[in-house]
Structure 1
Amino acid sequence: MSDSTVTEPEGRAQQTLPRTVTGEGEQGFLGRLRTPRRPRLWFEILLIAVSYWTYSLIRNAVPEQKAQALRNAGWIWKAEQRLGIAVEDSVNHAVNSVNWLIVGMNYYYATLHFVVTLGVLVWLYRSHPGRYAAARLALFATTGVALLGYYLFPLAPPRLMNGGRFVDTVTVHHTWGSMASGDLKHMSNQYAAMPSMHIGWSLWCGLTVFALASVPWARLLALLYPTATLLVIVATANHFWLDAVGGALCLTFGFTAVRLWYGALPYTLPRQPTGVSLLRSPAGAVSE
């Protein structure tokens, strides 16, 4: 994703630019926070590092309620059977029978979750600085609300369910992979499968690139990425289908938070920082 693959959606940005509100309220701290500014590299690196460290710390500090997590997994599995979508075990065994494919998926699961997300953040920082803060807020809010799911609904991944119906593909194929599997399992909470942040983050990446890239192949890859991620999390027995639904709901919360804070979705904001606050008028109207 280079600068040459991006065009400014001129018409859309001009039509959806929220109202600039003036007055004493806009001179305060809240108004400054809502003002699009050019992000600072040192601050963004520090913020992302500290935020991910905090997220990991809290996620792993959530009690590993094994018994409850296994009961919840059984409930999810039965619910999917009633819905007619409980085919995760079939997908897991089918893909596991193709050695090169499942090994590739193991590495996909372990690496692209971070690499692609960071790559999209860097691209936004360089090419869309006016939209960067709002898009970053959507990602952070999505991740933050997921912590509630880990605490309130401990869930064992399919590979840890009783009965041995699923294959833990990282363990079987001895690949370096999930922090919740193999030799690394003691470094991560294994019973925090709901919601799936692999889906939440990949959807955020896909929607961001699809909305802002102009080259057709980039937009196509943007749509394929969360689709491929869904297949990977199921094939590797790390998540149920419904975990993906949970991840999508968290992303919806993230975009709602941005809409409430900035008065617009990230992709409709100006590409370059405007230096003016973006606030909705009391009546919800938009004006220049």
Structure 2
Amino acid sequence: MVAGSDVSVVRALHRNRQIVRELIVIAAAIASYFGVRGLIATRVDVAYRNAETVVSWERSAGLFVEPQLQQAVVDHGWLVEVLGYIYIFGHWPVLLTTLLWLLIRHRDAYRVFRNAMLLSGSIGLVIFALFPVAPPRFLTGYGFADTVTEHTSAYRVLQPPAFVNQYAAVPSLHFGWNLLMGIAVASLGTHWSIRLFGWLMPVLMLTAIVLTANHYIFDGLAGGVIALLSLLAAYRLAGPKVRGGGC
């Protein structure tokens, strides 16, 4: 009986050490991501020219509707506030909570989604450096307004300007990473309400990033594609147990 109890204690300690180690890895990765992103040298004039290029692409595809969409909601104060809260508190709090849930309850799936985030983040950093883009909120000539900053300073607290490259609109990993966590929750949740949250979360975030003028529709599409390709690569690199649905 004593021996069995000792084994349980050893296993619990080992599991706790693994959890702490993974939390340190995630924290270091997040710090490195924002540190490098903030240090990327960006020519502001190039970022604005690239923003006009994105607008031109969207116009060619009939997608440049962001100014009209935002204008339709700015007169509704309560809706603007809801979108701001989704944009701020629906990102990092949701990402970190979901990763911790995966780490504790679905260890194999955690490794896959963690690797997908790391891979997509690395791709994002390369694009930020090669193709800096000013976000819509800076293009006031089109009628955009920075509704998040106008209504709250919370986001600047969660992501201090010193650690943020303001000209890294493309791709939107703000949406891409939420999409990854949404897939995890929708596929692994044990209750319909949890799975529903997984489906709705990325949709709400895509809506928020566009209507708060923090990203173009193109940014969201690019972030989503990069996140999905990274998830596919992470699954391919995983063992057969995970690929076979053992997670």
**Shorter-chain-normalised TM-score: which range?**
0.7 to 0.9
Alignment gaps of 5+ in structure 2: 1-13
CA distance in 2, matches of 1:57, 1:137: 19
Name the CA shift for 1:184/1:136 in 2 (closer, same or farther; >3 Å).
closer
Tell me if the contact between 2:34 and 2:163 (Cα under 8 Å) persists in the aligned partners: no
**How many residue pairs were aligned?**
232
SS at match of 2:145: coil
Task: Output aligned runs, 1:75-224, within 5 Å.
Answer: 75-161=53-139, 163-173=141-151, 175-179=152-156, 185=161, 187-224=163-200
Runs of 4+ residues deviating >3 angstroms: 177-180, 183-187, 263-269
- Does 1:62 pair with 2:40? yes
SS at match of 2:141: coil
CA distance in 2, matches of 1:177, 1:144: 26
Return the offset for 1:252.
2.5
* Cα deviations by residue, 1:262-285 (Å, 9 ceiling, x for unpaired): 2559574534xxxxxxxxxxxxxx
CA distance in 1, matches of 2:84, 2:194: 24
CA distance in 2, matches of 1:71, 1:264: 46
Equivalent AA in structure 2 for residue 78 of structure 1: S
SS at match of 1:195: coil
The equivalent of 2:24 in structure 1 is: 46
Tell me if the contact between 1:166 and 1:237 (Cα under 8 Å) persists in the aligned partners: yes
Query: Which one has the largest radius of gyration?
Result: 1
CA distance in 2, matches of 1:179, 1:250: 26
CA distance in 1, matches of 2:44, 2:116: 31
Return the offset for 1:64.
2.4
The equivalent of 1:10 in structure 2 is: none
- Does 1:241 pair with 2:217? yes
Task: Output aligned runs, 1:232-271, within 5 Å.
Answer: 232-263=208-239, 266=242, 268-271=244-247
CA distance in 2, matches of 1:142, 1:121: 16
Tell me if the contact between 2:137 and 2:213 (Cα under 8 Å) persists in the aligned partners: yes
Superposition CA RMSD, Å: 2.3
CA distance in 2, matches of 1:264, 1:192: 36
Return the offset for 1:152.
1.1
Return the offset for 1:115.
0.7
- Identity among equivalent positions (%) equals 32
Return the offset for 1:230.
0.6
Name the CA shift for 1:191/1:265 in 2 (closer, same or farther; >3 Å).
farther
Name the CA shift for 1:87/1:148 in 2 (closer, same or farther; >3 Å).
same
Give the structure, 1 or 2, with the largest relative contact order (CA under 8 Å, sep 6 or more). Answer: 1
Return the offset for 1:165.
1.6
Alignment gaps of 5+ in structure 1: 1-36, 272-288
CA distance in 1, matches of 2:83, 2:127: 25
Tell me if the contact between 1:110 and 1:177 (Cα under 8 Å) persists in the aligned partners: yes
* Cα deviations by residue, 1:183-210 (Å, 9 ceiling, x for unpaired): 9545521100100011111110111111
* Cα deviations by residue, 1:117-152 (Å, 9 ceiling, x for unpaired): 111111111211232222211121122211111111
Return the offset for 1:176.
1.7
CA distance in 2, matches of 1:120, 1:265: 21
CA distance in 2, matches of 1:168, 1:261: 40
TM-score by length of 2: 0.86
The equivalent of 1:22 in structure 2 is: none
- Alignment partner for residue 226 of structure 1, among 182, 198, 202? 202
Return the offset for 1:89.
0.6
